[in-house]
Structure 1
Amino acid sequence: MQYTLSGLLILLFCQLSLAQQPVYQQVYDAYNDYREESIQTRRFKHSDIEPILLKLDEEKGFEVNKLGESIEGRAIYDVTFGSGKTQVLLWSQMHGDESTATMAGLDLFNFFMADDAFNELRNTILNNITVHFIPMLNPDGAEVFERRNALGVDMNRDALRLQSPESRILKNIRDSLQADFGFNLHDQSVYYTTGIKPEAATISFLPPAYNYAKDINPVRERAMQVIVELNEALQHYIKGHVGRYNDDFEPRAFGDNIQKWGTSTILIESGGFPDDPEKQRIRKLNFMILVKALHSIATKNYKNYNREDYWNIPENERYLYDLLVRNVKKEINGKLYTVDVGINHYEAEYNEHSRYFKVGSIRELGDMSTYYGYDMFDARGMTAVPGKVYEEIQPDLHAVQKLDAMELISQGYTTVRVKDMEGQEDIRRHLVLDVVSEDASPTYTLEIGSRPNFILEEAGTPKYAVVNGFLREL
């Protein structure tokens, strides 16, 4: 192959740019090579990941041990790799509905099985640390996609009493390893922001306090230094979207106690990001920072960072809604009043908790000038008119699909009554119109707790509609 002089210069520039690119950025760019494709959404079960974990035991350099069982008898595994002296313990899905880091953990295993250009990075990590990863510590909660375990206990408040077998498993492995570092991997509400501003807290960190005074000893300081390094990396991808979790001491919590027991503990919380409902972009970010964290610990690079920079990360606040409609006119007794409307979408589960459709709800009204939304709309000059229920009852959701939804909405209809919706939830996920049972008599008002179905009119002409909490332009 022949190159022109300009072509050679471009090729040389690209090679130099790649060589100068930090290794964590190169790993991030290569992520799709390691992504575990069998898991595509947040809602998966123990039976989905158990075969993946058991197969790892056949791979060179991996050891998979059953640590015990959950209350309902599901196996809890420790995936071990590396041969270094420094012991690093990670655990995910302590809360059954917080699965982002479990997905990233599966990707991480694939990364360490690979044989490619990152071998030097892998060898540095594997020769200096031993990694123990417990994916899905709470498999019973994951089965029904709930926070608590089968006992109804929040395991993150069971570090002292240890009444749950899953809690005892975590305590026992921490004690047996005398782990040097621990990673407590969670998901947080998607409505957290990084301070009092519109950016969602996509990733939040915490080096938990080990006493009420929130003292900083060498154990906690190491955790803070690692966090500072990880935050630096994340700013290249989600600038302004990294938060700092509240560090009030909780004497029953695992993170606080594991810090107290001598393991430098780092809480990582995965929040929200625009247009990422299944948290697949956040999964990729988790993968990248886990690789970077392990490399930092293996090389002790975290020592080059100042713990005081941790306090520059903005603290989590809660200033987000899914949809915020500003300056809309609301009529009461013939008079118009101006309000802002904060709307959130909730997940209505079906198919054994593995799928969901969204249901909107009005959560706040009034002056919301200090709040924000993933979607925001200024309805200045517009009046909210309650949506109407279509007169013709439909036999099923297949019939609703055939209706001209936008034409009905332009006539003021937002809702359709349906005789039979059983087993048709997959259709409901994609409907524009809201649906209710045939015997329902819904009335829609701009009130907290109401279903958000209303038309936005300007001088009597419909301009926009909010249907089941989603904004539609007419």
Structure 2
Amino acid sequence: MNFKNISCLLFLFGIISLGSAQKKPLYAKLYSSYENFKEESIEKRRFTRAKIQPLIEEFKKNRDFKVTKVGESIQGRPLELISIGQGELDIFLWSQMHGDESTATMAIFDILNFLDSREFSEVKNELLAKVKLHFLPMVNPDGAQRFQRRNLLGVDINRDALRLQSPESKTLKRVRDSLEADFGFNLHDQSTYYNAERTPKPASISYLAPAYNYEKSINKVRGDAMRVIVQMNDIIQKYAPGQVGRYNDDFEPRAFGDNMQKWGTSTILIESGGYPNDPEKQEIRKLNFVSILAALFSIAQEDYQNADISSYEAIPNNDRNLFDLKLEGLSYELLGEEYILDLGINQEEIQNENLDYFYDSYISDRGDLSTYYGYKELDATGYKLIKGKVYPETFANSGQLEEENISEILKQGYAYIRLKELPRQEFTKLPINLVAEDFQLPENLEPNFFLEKDGKLNYAVINGFLVDLFKKDFQVENAIIID
């Protein structure tokens, strides 16, 4: 090989290396500038189709975007595809097949805002010259109307890829087929109780290249999805280190992701899980934004092809060993005997007709929980569990109670207060449970108790929320009203 050829090779290698080196600063800038693109009209994860309709209407007016009505839900809510780009590669992204899994829908509108902005124009122009992006947000608007998993028919759309019994399923299949999409992004939410296997870290984001057969074979279509995930994981580890999991890849013959893979679309599942102190999933929304954009750039530049599939296999599996609150080694008296227990407490969301919610906590597990973790943990070694008592005085109503020093009442071991007139709701923002005049303490252990050490009450657990009784400022998201 002559010197001229060697020089050309070195020059080309320099370009490739420079391109790879420039990507990480790009994603860092995307992450740091995220607030410039965040769709401010959506601040909470419970929202309906009516919330995003005005946003879609604005994109209809934008000549850079094409908005096409591709179907309707059972109740007649429109399903609209938003497309942008001029490239030969078609990338199809759909969200909220399950009506109560909205994190990625929020992120989609953030990404659309990014694509519509003047910032990062050079890299965006390069992206859109190579790919054409197609977004189908909120596939299940009837489910979103009730913030429930299934559609109005009661069908899980993600188990309807074969029979196509629901109009939403038919639309999803028809769009994929009409595009003959090269890549697909199947965007979901998963339980907040998933953790990255054998670690205390929540699986804030989990990825999967779904299997297309029971043998979990890897062909080029699935392999390309795996390689893109390697690139995404590499980026997200910088912003949520250790908080990435790999979703179970058992083949589900009725599922859309598995069938998309079989139909020839390299399909990437993204599951949004839990993040500490982020009940509305706004931080995970941001991770979706960066993660998906990283994937799109990787596909456009084809650098995902350099990724090693073994790095995909190295992503920890999802595990389900998280509690909202874990108490370790407390002393519990039963029938005159002392026992040492760990307690795992979860805070279940209860939703009302207005899509508001409150927490009704429960003890999920007890015993040896040494292989489990908590979003909040307390080493309760040396502490004795004392069941909460009912305050001896009955108050007329909650207004009268608000004049009392609740902190002092808690320090005396009272977890319940009787009211003659209970509010007409199921929860209270006061940090103590409100009960009817005839209320009797439950015999079973409930997540309303105190932790005593050396004859003093140090902590309260009210409706599953841990309260340090010696701190002036403490927060209980809500306590319960029991009629």
Pair in the same fold by TM > 0.5: yes
Partner residue in 1 for 2:7: none
Q: Percent identity?
A: 50
**2:458 counterpart SS class:** strand
Partner residue in 2 for 1:3: none
Structure 2: unaligned runs, 5 residues or longer: 1-20, 470-483
1:35 maps onto 2:11 in alignment: no
CA contact (8 A) 1:386 1:444 kept: no
CA contact (8 A) 2:24 2:235 kept: no
What is the deviation of 1:204? 0.3
What is the deviation of 1:245? 0.6
Change (3 A) 1:271 1:385: same
CA contact (8 A) 1:202 1:270 kept: yes
Partner residue in 2 for 1:109: 112
Code of the aligned partner of 2:465: F
Partner residue in 2 for 1:441: 440
Bigger CA drift: 415-424 or 70-79? 415-424
**1:78 counterpart SS class:** strand
CA contact (8 A) 1:444 1:454 kept: no
1:90 maps onto 2:85 in alignment: no
Name the CA distance, whole Å, in 2 between partners of 1:69 and 1:332. 58
Name the CA distance, whole Å, in 2 between partners of 1:19 and 1:251. 41
Partner residue in 2 for 1:386: 387
CA contact (8 A) 2:422 2:435 kept: no
**2:402 counterpart SS class:** helix
CA contact (8 A) 1:322 1:344 kept: yes
CA contact (8 A) 1:90 1:185 kept: yes
What is the deviation of 1:19? 7.5
Name the CA distance, whole Å, in 2 between partners of 1:261 and 1:67. 20
CA RMSD of aligned residues (A): 1.6
What is the deviation of 1:139? 0.6
Code of the aligned partner of 2:105: T
1:432 maps onto 2:431 in alignment: yes
The one-character-per-residue Cα deviations of 1:52-87 (angstroms, maximum 9, x if unpaired) are 112111113111111111111111111111111111
**1:361 counterpart SS class:** strand
User: What does residue range 182-193 of structure 1 map to in structure 2 within 5 Å?
Assistant: 182-193=184-195
1:357 maps onto 2:358 in alignment: yes
What is the deviation of 1:163? 0.5
Code of the aligned partner of 1:365: R
**2:287 counterpart SS class:** helix
Change (3 A) 1:114 1:261: same
Q: Which one of 263, 266, 280 corresponds to residue 265 of structure 2? A: 263
Partner residue in 2 for 1:125: 127
1:401 maps onto 2:402 in alignment: yes
Change (3 A) 1:284 1:331: same
What is the deviation of 1:350? 2.7
Name the CA distance, whole Å, in 1 between partners of 2:249 and 2:22. 39
CA contact (8 A) 1:197 1:319 kept: no
What is the deviation of 1:326? 0.7
Partner residue in 1 for 2:371: 370
Change (3 A) 1:436 1:138: farther
The one-character-per-residue Cα deviations of 1:81-134 (angstroms, maximum 9, x if unpaired) are 111111100000000110000000111111011012x00111011111111111
CA contact (8 A) 2:346 2:464 kept: yes
Name the CA distance, whole Å, in 2 between partners of 1:274 and 1:125. 34
The one-character-per-residue Cα deviations of 1:179-211 (angstroms, maximum 9, x if unpaired) are 000000000000101002211001000000000
Partner residue in 2 for 1:12: none
Change (3 A) 1:46 1:337: same
TM-score, length basis structure 2? 0.90
Aligned length: 448
CA contact (8 A) 2:422 2:434 kept: no
Partner residue in 1 for 2:81: 78
Name the CA distance, whole Å, in 2 between partners of 1:259 and 1:460. 62
CA contact (8 A) 1:34 1:107 kept: yes
1:229 maps onto 2:247 in alignment: no
Change (3 A) 1:461 1:439: same
